[in-house]
Structures are given as C-alpha cells and as structure tokens.
C-alpha cells in the first residue's frame, strides 16, 4: 500500500499551497512553510499543522526579545501575534483548522528529527527561461 503525501483533501490542499505562498515571500527566501504532523500520517487528524521554519539568525532578528536557548518564543508578544494572525488567515483561506507556528531551524530539526515535512507554497521556475 502506498503512503499518501498528505491526508488533507483537494481542493483544501491546493488552497493551502496558494495561501502559504505570500507567507514564504514575506519572510524571504531562506525559510519556508511546511505541512507537518498528523495530517501527513492519517485521515483522522484534528487540525492541520503548518510551520514556517527559518534560519536561527533570522528568527533571532525577527524576535529579538526571545531567549533562543530557553525556547521562550511562545511567550513573546510579537511571535504570538504573528502566529495567531497567520493561523486565522490560513484558516479563512482554506476552511481548515490550522495550527500555525514560526520555528527556528535548529529547534525544528532537533525536536522533530525524522518526522516528515511537506513544503508548501513553493514557486517553480522553468529551467529554460527562469520564469516562474
């Protein structure tokens, strides 16, 4: 039996792809949105976990009040505002119950080592022209 890429059905999955594109664009080329968690594993997911993973230095610059070693970003007012606002945007755009978080790359890689990620909102470029 072949494992599905994700258990979020179309067209909601397509809407999620489109809705993540401006998030990727807003935070720059070094980070990306990813579908993670139970929606990649089973049909009975409770919510759809989307993570924007960015390089540690970018995360520290974006959230300067956060102690990166103590993982205090969940108490940072800017982080809370951005994550809840983006979660609401993604939920409205897709009709899905979204759990969105911004994470520094080292933390995401260490805390979720071996877990699947599915990149969202990518732009494909035609090799022969370089056009999107």
Q: Is residue 132 part of a domain?
A: no
pLDDT band of 31, cuts 50, 70, 90: very high
Domain membership of residue 130 (yes or no) is no
Q: Which domain holds residue 103?
A: 12-120
Q: Please report whether residue 101 resides in a domain.
A: yes
**Residue 1 falls inside a structural domain:** no
Q: What is the mean pLDDT of the chain?
A: 92
Domain assignment present for residue 7? The answer is no
Does some domain include residue 81? yes
Domain count, the chain: 1
Residue 40's domain is classified under what CATH number? 3.30.460
CA distance 51 to 109: 12
Per-residue pLDDT at 28 exceeds 80: yes
Distance CA 47, CA 131 (A): 35
pLDDT in tens, 86-127: 999 999 999 999 999 999 999 999 988 888 999 999 877 777
Per DSSP bridges, beta strands 98-104 and 32-36 are unpaired
Percent of the chain at pLDDT > 90 equals 77
Does any domain span residue 22?
Answer: yes
Q: Residue 13 is inside which H or E element, if any?
A: helix 12-27
Which pTM value belongs to this model? 0.90
Residue 125: what pLDDT? Answer: 72
């Amino acid at each position: 039996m072949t494992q599905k890429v994700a258990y979020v059905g179309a067209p909601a999955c397509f809407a999620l792809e489109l809705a993540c594109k401006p998030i990727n664009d807003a935070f720059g080329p070094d980070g990306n949105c990813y579908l993670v968690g139970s929606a990649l594993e089973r049909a009975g997911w409770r919510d759809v976990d989307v993570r924007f993973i960015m390089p540690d230095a970018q995360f520290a610059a974006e959230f300067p009040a956060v102690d990166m070693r103590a993982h205090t970003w969940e108490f940072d007012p800017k982080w809370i505002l951005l994550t809840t606002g983006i979660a609401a945007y993604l939920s409205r755009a897709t009709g899905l119950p979204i759990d969105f978080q911004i994470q520094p790359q080292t933390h995401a890689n260490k805390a979720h080592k071996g877990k699947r990620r599915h990149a969202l909102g990518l732009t494909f470029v035609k090799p022969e022209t370089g056009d999107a």
